[in-house]
Copies of this chain bind each other. A is one copy, B any other.
């Protein structure tokens, strides 16, 4: 493996697994107030597109990396959407 390949794999490893501590924090605390709904919506769709791109290109590294990121990002997005809907319902009840 060349130095450039090692750099590429390290970069992919870091950007992929960076979402793990965020997912763990959101699962533990259930707090998503400062997370942007727009960010996680757009990001999750974008990573899903990268996954399709990897599948078409038959690039196994891209498929694995984007699969993991897609799962982590989807978990964060799901809890964010759940919380936002809950807040809306609470606000509606309070009126």
What band does the interface of chain A fall in when counting residues whose beta carbon is under 8 Å from B?
Answer: 35 or more
Instruction: Say which residue of B13, B29, B43 sits within 8 Å of A18 (CB atoms).
Output: B43
Counting every copy of the chain, the complex holds 2
Instruction: Say which residue of B17, B34, B41, B50 sits within 8 Å of A33 (CB atoms).
Output: B34
Cβ of A82 within 8 Å of any chain B Cβ, yes or no, is no
Residue interface mask A35-70, B partner, CB < 8 A = 1: 110111111011101101100110000000000000
A34 touches B34 (CB 8 A): yes
User: Which A residues lie at the B interface, using CB under 8 A?
Assistant: 4, 7-8, 10-15, 17-22, 24-26, 29, 31-36, 38-43, 45-47, 49-50, 52-53, 56-57
B36 touches A34 (CB 8 A): no
A14 touches B45 (CB 8 A): yes
Q: Whole-angstrom distance between the alpha carbons of A57 and B24 in the complex?
A: 34
Q: Whole-angstrom distance between the alpha carbons of A18 and B36 in the complex?
A: 9
